[in-house]
Chains A and B, each alone.
Chain A
Amino acid sequence: MKTTRFLFFCFLLAAFASCHNNAGKTGENTTDNGETVKIGVLHSLSGTMAISEVSLRDAVQMAVDEINASGGVLGKKIEPVIVDPASDWDLFAEKAKELLIDKKVSAVFGCWTSVSRKSVLPVFEENNGLLFYPVQYEGEECSNNVIYTGATPNQQLIPAAEYLMSEKGGGYKKFYLLGTDYVFPRTANKILKAYLLSKGVPNENIIEEYTPFHHQDYQTIVSKIKRFAADGKACVLSTINGDSNVPFYKEFANQGLSSATCPIMAFSVAEDELRSMDTEFLVGHLAAWNYFQSNDSPENKKFVEAFKAFCEKKGLPGGSKRVTDDPICWAYTGVYLWARAATKAGSFDVNKVRTALSGLEFDSPDGKVKMDVGNHHLAKPVMIGEIKPDGQFDIISKTDNLVSPQPWSPLTSPDKDCDWVNHKGTYTK
């Protein structure tokens, strides 16, 4: 009988613990009070996505340390609240609620996969939070509560295809669209296909194919590519994700294909993934991003040095051998954008910060970038890189101007656009 009593008191305690948690916070909730301002960091530190997301947490932490060292924002130090959504999509939503409602953070920096973003989106919209999302994505979304610092399709996919079709890039005529079976590749290929068709590439010269996650056996697919490439200038546009890349590139080389005959343009292979991979088979192939570590501007050199030093100082795995890449750069930039906007607005209030973000310019490691006035995305340069043996990229093409973001691709949704200043978000033209 006493067990039941014990149990009951345990629950009482647990429930009170969770209540007390918020009760305490509700008193000093308005983050403007006190010495610090809280931000949430919502990146998976365990589970399957930890491979990619841990680096983003490090980048955010570094930006926070730098800002704090130079006096903080509006006279307050930034206090990051780091939680682990454990690659568990339900937990992403739960943690987002906790950060916004209980911890009252001013902004959240996080998410990698599309599914995690989709999972937290309703939470941010309901509670009017602000999420900085640093990864390139499939577009077709334009929330008032998300600041998309990663690329939209027209900032990555279209320039890459354009490059390959151009005289300078090799004038390729046939395209093999290969990807892992999830939302980004599916949408990306839909847009790419529409683009290629609009440029007069005949339908039979475009092949679309998907493999499951963690697919390892690319024999049949590569021999298909080989036949496809046998009678004409062909290239592969790859949205293959994560650990499937090495087997694919290996098989590609084993069957006698090379970057000279049939280059692979990858949209999901960055320096951080190549860090400790055997890059032997990847050398000479291409990738399209908005940032490469090999960008030799002084700002970027400083950033790369600082990141390596930060990882070494904190004793993070990899230490000074760590590299930067596109998502890391945008995760880092995101924090600065938020800090600048808060300074400009003179407040941490979400609505004021959002207004201040519109049209904001910032000198990122990648050079000058500019927030779009209306659609919450970032205008930035587009680069094509060639993989080198050390896992770095040789930048072989770079746009002269910043490319404006288009969350709704004019190719697949010609009648849609997004503007939060003159319209209420997504509107039909």
Chain B
Amino acid sequence: MEKKIYYLLFIAFFALLLPAGHLMGWVSINTISLWGRYFCFAIAALGIDLIWGYTGILSMCQAFFFCLGSYGIAMHMLLKTSGSALPEFMVWNKVESLPFFWVPFQSFGLTLVLCLVIPSLLAFVIGYVLFRSRIKGVYMAIITQALALAMWLLFLRNETGLGGTNGLTDFKTLLGLPLSNTYVKLGLYLMSLLLLCVAYFACYQITHSKFGKVLQAIRDSESRVSFTAYKVMDYKLAVFVVAALLAAIGGMLYAPQTGIITPGRMDVKASVEMVMWVALGGRGKLKGAVAGALLVNFLYSICTSLFPDSWLYILGFLFVITVLFFDKGFVGLMDNLTKRKEPCY
């Protein structure tokens, strides 16, 4: 019971206290948006925890799925902002008419559907090809990493019609609401928080269902699970698609709050970083994933301002030490500390 109270306090704090603080003038809107963006990362981190922490598949292309969601929503917003004219970057790219794959993004409903369907479909195809041939462990990690690299290179090109290195930027409205408005920002923040809670709850249900138990069994010994007549591939495929979906949802909320989406968000480094959040927070624990994503990004923001010359050392050492000594992450460390205080019987 005590546990639940803290979850509620966590929600209450972020859902009520911070916005209230803003209205009272204590908390700047920048801080609110910042946490809103962290929540987007946390949603994606939940997905990574599902596939890596619970199923033991290390996927290094989650940032790519994250960006697919972001690009989708950004395309919609850009079309709405530029109205009947072509988006600015197409003009200097000498594109005369709107490319065919941009057309569906004029409608918000269709955009929502596509933002969810495209990443899941891609994840399904990639997952199918990889899992069918029983690629796992390090092989899986490296191939998905190479995939992320290839996709990054593709998105960098101007010919692909997605803005090249500059990505998509300068969107002004979402559903007719001006993004620069403080209340819209607050709304997006609350929306992110809400979706984080929903995603957390859904993942909690998944991990505590029979399906979740099978996933953990696959992590612990894949061959034994397959010997007991479970179709391992179906389970892996399902969880891979769910993770991609979560990443895409995070991405969709991320673009309007940041105001820009570029291929830089999906390079090789970005995916490894996402995995690092989960590792640092504590994998195999949903709250670990959320804590990791929030804390690492918070540290990243703080350190790049406070120690502009040495923040890379700080984060680097943090990663190494966490992996070396606290393999259950931050949450695991807390567990250990608290357990020791309990009396032994």
Of A5-13, A277-285, A298-306, A341-349, the one with at least 4 CB within 8 A of chain B: A5-13
Say whether A15 contacts B35, CB under 8 Å.
yes
Q: In the bound complex, what is the Cα–Cα distance between A134 and B54 (angstroms)?
A: 49
Residues of A within 8 A of B259 (CB): 93, 119, 122-123
Q: Which of B258, B305, B338 contacts A90 (CB 8 A)?
A: B258
Say whether B169 contacts A118, CB under 8 Å.
yes
- Which residues 316-345 in B have Cβ within 8 Å of A in the complex? 331, 334-335, 337-338, 341
Say whether A101 contacts B308, CB under 8 Å.
no
Residues of A within 8 A of B227 (CB): none
- Give a binary string over B59-97; 1 marks a CB under 8 Å from any A CB, 0 the rest: 000000000000000000000000000000100111000
Given A2-B334, A15-B35, CB of A186 within 8 Å of CB of B93: yes
Quick check: is A420 within 8 A (CB to CB) of the other chain?
no
- Give a binary string over A68-100; 1 marks a CB under 8 Å from any B CB, 0 the rest: 000000000000011111111111011101100
- Give a binary string over A22-59; 1 marks a CB under 8 Å from any B CB, 0 the rest: 11001000000000000000000110000000000000
Residue of A with least CB distance to B304: A84
Q: Which of A6, A89, A91 contacts B334 (CB 8 A)?
A: A6
Say whether A102 contacts B28, CB under 8 Å.
yes
Say whether A14 contacts B298, CB under 8 Å.
yes
Say whether A97 contacts B30, CB under 8 Å.
yes
Quick check: is B176 within 8 A (CB to CB) of the other chain?
no
Residues of A within 8 A of B262 (CB): 89-90, 115, 119
Main secondary structure on B side of the interface with A: helix
Quick check: is A220 within 8 A (CB to CB) of the other chain?
no
Residues of B within 8 A of A2 (CB): 334, 338, 341
Say whether A89 contacts B13, CB under 8 Å.
no
Say whether A4 contacts B157, CB under 8 Å.
no
Q: In the bound complex, what is the Cα–Cα distance between A87 and B6 (angstroms)?
A: 38
- Which residues 115-142 in A have Cβ within 8 Å of B in the complex? 115, 118-119, 121-123, 126, 138, 140
In the complex, how many angstroms separate the beta carbon of A413 from the nearest chain B beta carbon? 10
Q: Which of A86, A88, A190 contacts B92 (CB 8 A)?
A: A190
Given A1-B2, A26-B25, A93-B260, CB of A18 within 8 Å of CB of B93: no
Quick check: is A182 within 8 A (CB to CB) of the other chain?
yes
Residues of A within 8 A of B309 (CB): 45, 84
Given A90-B265, A119-B259, A183-B166, CB of A97 within 8 Å of CB of B33: yes
Say whether B28 contacts A22, CB under 8 Å.
yes
Say whether A82 contacts B308, CB under 8 Å.
yes
A contacts, CB < 8 Å to B:
1-8, 10-12, 14-15, 17-19, 21-23, 26, 45-46, 81-91, 93-95, 97-98, 101-102, 113-115, 118-119, 121-123, 126, 138, 140, 181-183, 186-187, 190, 210, 212-213
9 nearest interchain CB pairs?
A: A84-B308, A2-B338, A3-B334, A101-B30, A115-B166, A22-B28, A97-B30, A4-B6, A84-B304
- 17 A-B pairs within 8 Å (CB atoms) are namely A4-B7, A15-B14, A22-B27, A26-B25, A84-B308, A89-B167, A90-B261, A94-B34, A118-B260, A119-B169, A119-B260, A121-B170, A181-B158, A183-B164, A183-B165, A210-B158, A212-B157
